[in-house]
Structure 1
Amino acid sequence: MIQIFQHTFGPFQENTYLLANENKQTVIIDPGMYFPEENIVLQETLEKNQLQPTQLWLTHAHIDHVMGMKYIHDQFQLEPKLHKEDLVVLENAAASGARFGLKFNPYDGELHFVTDQDKLQLGEDEFSIFFVPGHSPGSIGFYNEKQKFIIGGDVLFKNSIGRTDLPGGDTQTLLNSIRTKLFTLPDDVVVYPGHGEPTTIGYEKTNNPFLK
């Protein structure tokens, strides 16, 4: 049984997720820590629950989802897995931060690229990768069929969708990704988004004003 821990970090109120299996092996997804005290909060969650970080995954590489990546690497020697199409987004993250008056030390180490043909493992638990571009060119979601949840990044929100006015964004591409990829999942699948509260596939099919 995978435990899901969620923290909301940084000036953009981004959701950072920790997924832990029964052996306490833990994947960190989208580390958005910006303020020093947020690193402490993350560390306290790990220590309190005896979690052992073993992997680092990115749904995409916008600034608010990667500001804590260097800290994670320095603390746990983890190298991120992401889609290659978001490499240009990652390379521009520090410059994007500067435009908002945000300074941080970007991660500049090894990268590991994944596609929707790959599967990711957390111990014995398997995750499918959903390639869902539109918010960013390389947005992906991590789907666990057994427990019926997906960590979806900034693609689908409760009653909303991801913004598409950033470089590499495209509204029609995003809507197509949701309709042809995410909406193929069962209605009771829980969507854990990059901002805001969780929702379900079925709720968004019925209620999301952008997808009617």
Structure 2
Amino acid sequence: MIQIDIIPINQWQENTYILSDETKECVIIDPGCLSPEERESVAKFISDKGYTPVRLLQTHMHLDHVFGSKFIADKYQLKLEAHKDDEFWGEQTVEYAASFGMQLDSNPPAIGNYLSEGDVVKFGQSELSVIHVPGHSPGGIVFYNEAEKFAIVGDVLFRESIGRADLPGGDFDTLVSNIKTKLLVLDDEVAVYPGHGPSSTIGHERKNNPFLS
């Protein structure tokens, strides 16, 4: 049974996810911890739970989802794992942050393991399937567990909304098409865990999301 811990963090209230199972191995998805206090709080949470981080995963490489990626990679000696098509985002994180008046020390680590459609991410006794869902960002991916019926979707899909498509590499029609063909085909009861805000289900979004009707 996979435990899903959610830590909303930073000024964008980005959902950092920590997934673990009975082995206590865990994966950290989209660490958004920016300040020293935020980073320490995430590390303390992991320590208090007795978790052993074994993978650092990114649904995509937008600024607010990679603030803590170098910290996590360094602290736990992990490679950053993401889709190749978002590599350019990682390479310009410091520059992009400056446009928001933010001074960052460094870009996130270079992608150490490319994740693609159909890959399987394993940790402990558990696994996640990778679904490539571009449109919000070109390298946007979803981590899906068929057995336990949940998907960590990043900023692709929100409760009764979808991700913005006006950033470099984004495209509204591509996003909507991919959500419909890759996510709405999943079972109604599949839980949807987004990069910001509350969780939902595929069934709820199929019926109530105004962007997908």
Is residue 139 of structure 2 the alignment partner of residue 138 of structure 1? Answer: yes
Distance apart, 1:124 and its partner CA:
2.2
Partner of 1:12 in structure 2? Answer: 12
Q: Cα deviation per residue 1:135-194 (whole Å; 9 max; x = unaligned)?
A: 000100000111100000000000100001111110000001100000111000001000
Q: Which amino acid in 2 is paired with 1:198?
A: S
Specify every segment of 5 or more residues in structure 1 that has no aligned partner in the other structure, as ranges: none
Following superposition, the deviation at residue 110 of structure 1 comes to: 5.2
Once the two structures are superposed, what CA deviation does each residue of 1:13-52 show, in whole Å capped at 9, x if it has no partner?
1110000111100100001011111112101211111011
Superposition pairs of residues 85-100 of structure 1, within 5 angstroms: 85-100=85-100
Identity of aligned residues (%): 47
The TM-score normalised by the length of structure 2 is: 0.97
Distance 1:141 1:176 in 2: 15
The 3-state SS of whatever aligns with 2:37 is: helix
The runs of 5 or more residues in structure 2 that have no matched partner are none
Report how many residues are paired: 212
Match of 2:203 in 1: 202
Q: Which residue of 2 aligns with 1:128?
A: 129
**Cα distance change, pair 23–80 in 1 and its aligned pair in 2 (3 A):** same
Partner of 1:103: 103
Question: What RMSD in Å do the two structures reach over aligned CA positions?
Answer: 1.0
Q: State the secondary structure of the residue aligned to 1:54.
A: strand
Question: 1:115 is aligned with what amino acid?
Answer: S
Distance 1:43 1:124 in 2: 23
The amino acid of 1:134's aligned partner reads G
User: What's the CA shift for 1:108?
Assistant: 3.3
Deviation at 1:120, TM superposition (A): 1.0
- Is 1:131–1:139's contact at 8 Å kept on the other side of the alignment? yes
Normalised to the residue count of structure 1, the TM-score between the two structures is 0.97
